[in-house]
Structure 1
């Protein structure tokens, strides 16, 4: 129980990462979480909650948390935790997160992130030594997994932004995904992978939904090559994923009587943009599935039956769902912006909604194009097989006074 894992928003990619770490560490960790609801409230108050609920222990060496938690507040409220080596994982940048409905930005969330990872000069100097980075006026230049030099602003004192997945970690540790995903060449029709057992840790609190889904029943009887193009959108139902642009493109395809099916996956929260109910009605029989699939088996099955996976995101640090879909054999179409050009080759990127529409229009007319396509990018470096060892090394390090 030497590693303390804290997640204030235990859902989606946040949950996926913590579950992987817990599975990897097994008896050597304790996981404390809050359910994935009311994100803003968690960002403001999680430190107070965990101050009261995290068990005291003299065995803790390392505290690993996501940036939803105000780590500075927790360290102040729990001095025993403040003495630990701390690793903070950033799923997003709250200083650059898209503002909804032209409202004024609430800078509290970005300020929380600054407080959580800001390091004094002597620690920045130590970071340079540890990760082999060279400082310049924009930030740090790092060596990525392929050995090539890439400029990345890790620690900007002037703007106080964190563009990497991990602070105080090796470059390339952005996010993770489950082992055992299929090769694009051998995507199975049905999965036999068992679900990971739910933790019984008393720190954890989670609401559960019980839904079932089987896409193979919907598609039974249709020849694979003859059925319409199947488009997947596996993202959170929130404004930063820009569902408006996605549905606008699909409705334009429908207006032109182009055949396609769509599966709108991803999790919905308290406030769902109106466009979802409007689009579901307008798309009608084109919809194969609509809604969150809590079972990983069902979720991967849906991706395996899809031909194209689309992102219209306005803010993305990595994009686990897109990489998972590529593993399942989907042809990716992503904005030529954000993190996507670092991950996907140019042929999978689009610059405008019009370009996205034209690509889909061609695919609707010739779905065999994408079904025969072999993905030309590299995804092996993002697998847990590649990154697991780096996380193990990070969490095995002993705490020191200069960290």
Structure 2
């Protein structure tokens, strides 16, 4: 198939996901993308710029004799109804068309698949920010306008539709027009996949273990409020008070102004930090140094970085909620901060063989989430959108 991918926020996990799919897919992809900044403006205003960009790309394809586009693949950052309307709006997109009008470049019945990395119904608002239902409703209209709706986890799928239905109950008008039951039937769970260094897939690197060896604790999440770095700092403080020796590898994207918790961790455990910051080409090597990867997130729709750390050799210690129960065994989940401390302390005192067996159980549970395994499945699902029940 010939697929037009439209990604308003081409950066971070959105970019990694799309690049991995395009690289491994058997289909032919044409990309239309926007910069990864100012996410609210991406959702609010990118439709016009991306419609212009798509028109130019499609016109270039047509002039070079390339086949017509069979399917549009976009993500939740796009206002799909708005973008589709603009693609058919000649005065805005091509006021002086040369050889072909926009109407002939993208057929009005071209199917649309939307991939939901996140959604604005349940994405935590920033501290002191006022909730704006416009963005969640934009996500809902995008889903209703899509032929297929893909969510990256069961948790995400369930919470999105629950929140959408709750919002519709509050609407004073036009509720029957939102054919949400039909949209739910068009939705399914398609994990985004993760890349793991192949040389780390079969054998966990040998590491010393036991009470005398520092446990290497890793952090791979964004240093943002929804990932709760304050809870991570409290866990480290409890481990320190209990005399558990540890070292730290601190990865994850940081805002321009680092959170106070990161500054506290840097100051308090300065001599125990192995790495702090962007890893670059040695990212997987840094992951391979971790004995444990910790998440304290209040919000997680999938958990690509945690999967990457597990595949590299880390034992996960994660909350028993959100998307994590779909990824890791119950033995790696905790209910409270105290339980997290107990779990990490137990791992610190285990011998290498016990740790290795525990890690292998976690690795095996995420094996089918590797990108190399998932992309052929995605290709088949895309085929089925174009030709249902083939």
Could you tell me the TM-score, scaled by structure 1's length?
Answer: 0.74
Mapped to 1, the partners of 2:252 and 2:231 lie a distance apart of 16
Mapped to 1, the partners of 2:42 and 2:110 lie a distance apart of 22
Aligned to 2:203: 186
CA displacement at 1:354 relative to structure 2: 1.2
On the 8 A contact 2:122/2:159 being kept in 1, the answer is no
CA displacement at 1:229 relative to structure 2: 0.3
Residue 279 (structure 1) aligned with residue 279 (structure 2): no
Could you tell me the TM-score, scaled by structure 2's length?
Answer: 0.76
Aligned to 1:77: 86
Residue 114 (structure 1) aligned with residue 100 (structure 2): no
User: In structure 1, the residue corresponding to 2:361 is in which secondary structure?
Assistant: coil
Residue 290 (structure 1) aligned with residue 295 (structure 2): no
Aligned to 1:4: 4
Match of 2:301 among 306, 317, 332: 317
User: In structure 1, the residue corresponding to 2:254 is in which secondary structure?
Assistant: coil
User: In structure 1, the residue corresponding to 2:5 is in which secondary structure?
Assistant: strand
**1:256/1:179 CA distance change after superposition, 3 Å:** closer
User: In structure 2, the residue corresponding to 1:262 is in which secondary structure?
Assistant: strand
Question: Any idea what the Cα deviations from partners look like across 1:242-283, whole Å, max 9, x if unmatched?
Answer: 111111211232244431011111122445433222322222
Aligned to 2:165: 158
Mapped to 1, the partners of 2:202 and 2:51 lie a distance apart of 48
Name the stretch that deviates more: 65-74 or 175-184.
175-184
Kindly report which structure 2 residues correspond to 1:1-400, keeping only aligned pairs within 5 A, or say none: 2-25=2-25, 28-54=28-54, 55-57=57-59, 59-79=68-88, 80=103, 81=106, 83-119=109-145, 152=158, 155=161, 158-159=165-166, 171-178=188-195, 180-182=197-199, 185-187=202-204, 224-225=208-209, 227-270=213-256, 272-295=258-281, 298-366=282-350, 368=352, 369-371=354-356, 373-377=358-362, 378-397=365-384, 399=386
CA displacement at 1:34 relative to structure 2: 2.4
User: In structure 1, the residue corresponding to 2:358 is in which secondary structure?
Assistant: coil
On the 8 A contact 1:230/1:307 being kept in 2, the answer is yes
CA displacement at 1:43 relative to structure 2: 2.1
On the 8 A contact 2:3/2:27 being kept in 1, the answer is no
On the 8 A contact 1:184/1:326 being kept in 2, the answer is no
Aligned to 1:211: none
**1:107/1:360 CA distance change after superposition, 3 Å:** same
**1:291/1:338 CA distance change after superposition, 3 Å:** same
CA displacement at 1:115 relative to structure 2: 1.5
User: In structure 2, the residue corresponding to 1:263 is in which secondary structure?
Assistant: strand
User: In structure 2, the residue corresponding to 1:31 is in which secondary structure?
Assistant: strand
User: In structure 2, the residue corresponding to 1:232 is in which secondary structure?
Assistant: strand
CA displacement at 1:39 relative to structure 2: 2.1
- Report the aligned-residue RMSD: 3.2
Mapped to 2, the partners of 1:329 and 1:61 lie a distance apart of 41
Mapped to 1, the partners of 2:387 and 2:87 lie a distance apart of 19
**1:47/1:324 CA distance change after superposition, 3 Å:** same
Question: Unpaired segments of 5 or more residues in structure 1?
Answer: 132-143, 145-150, 190-222
CA displacement at 1:373 relative to structure 2: 3.2
On the 8 A contact 2:24/2:372 being kept in 1, the answer is no
Question: Any idea what the Cα deviations from partners look like across 1:271-309, whole Å, max 9, x if unmatched?
Answer: 5433222322222112111112232xx111111111001
Mapped to 1, the partners of 2:184 and 2:11 lie a distance apart of 21
**1:179/1:62 CA distance change after superposition, 3 Å:** farther
